[in-house]
Amino acid sequence: MPELPEVQTIVSDLNLKALGKKITGVWADPRCRGTFLESGGKGKSVEIRKLLEKLKGFGFSRIERRGKNILFHLKKGRTELDFLVHPKMTGHFLFGRFQLEGKPPVLRPAENDSALTEKKNGYLRFGFKLDSGDFLVFSDLRRFAKIILGSPRDLEGSGHLALGPDALSPELDLKKFKKIILAERRNIKSVLLDQSVLAGLGNIYTDEILWLAGVHPLVRPARLSEEALKAIFSATKRVLKQSIRLRGTSFSDFRDLLGRPGGYLAKRRVYKRAGEACPRCGQPISRLKIGSRTAHFCPNCQRPLP
């Protein structure tokens, strides 16, 4: 699943490529559905095509990341709409020259671009044709993405953006971080994964953060020392910023706006490295199940508390 660095990579690229452009046409896979927020914030499931049709003539006025969500702010005259996409497991946006082929029409890359034509980028579910002649399209192998359209007020009040503080927010200082973490009684891995506690983290980066901080994934926050809490806070900022610089992790489906993989995969310390040598002490990396998630850690560097 794309986590904070992957979503931030997409949003940064979108602000360079799509911001200010106007939607002149739309295409959608008829099997895909989304949610339209009616007045008052009540959600109604509809075909994606019907959602997109409402956006013709709108321009992208602002694009931002909220946790793992991509939030498009669109305007047409004085009318404003918000379009939210949570990529979930396999979703990512692509930007470039595409064309409709066949009957019924299917969206395909217009040029033989080795990145855009990669199989990982071939599961196109919807697309916006822009006034520049380019397309902004969404690829999603498993069709799990959450897609919502509504007024800014209805979306903000719907609960879809009810998130904890962003893990990279400049307003999240050590004092606030400690208060949030110490209020929880679950193990630290589960706490860091909870989007209502801290927004943006997932399996990849919680493993990396806890390894860097030297904290076992099953330890409970109340048992963490002041030094350990500082180490987790510092590691969170360090790991996420490093991955953003490297344009995210492409362990599976994630690709950037031009269809290219991120570079953090080669730099990861423990995630999906079970059995390999710990880069700090040389002991084999272990793996354990925590609920429905998997944690990777070094049993020597990240020893459970007695």
Catalytic residue annotation: 2-3, 68, 293
Which residue from 285, 290, 253, 238 is spatially nearest to 119, judged by alpha carbons? 253
Considering only CA atoms, give the Rg of the chain.
Answer: 21
Of all helices (H) and strands (E), which one includes residue 297? Answer: strand 293-297
Determine the angle formed by the axes of helices 203-213 and 226-245, rounding to 10 degrees: 130
User: Residue 218 is encoded by which pair of tokens?
Assistant: 């099953």
User: Cα 274 vs. chain centroid, distance in angstroms?
Assistant: 24
Alpha carbons 142 and 88: distance in angstroms, whole number: 9
Asked if 191 and 184 touch (Cβ cutoff 8 Å), the reply is yes
Question: HSE-up of 234 (CA within 13 Å, CB side)?
Answer: 11
Provide long-range contacts, Cβ within 8 A and 24+ apart, for 172-177.
174/229, 174/230, 174/233, 177/229, 177/232, 177/233, 177/236
Locate 141 and state its tokens: 């192998």
Q: Which two tokens mark 38?
A: 């009616």
The Cα 161–Cα 179 span in angstroms is: 22
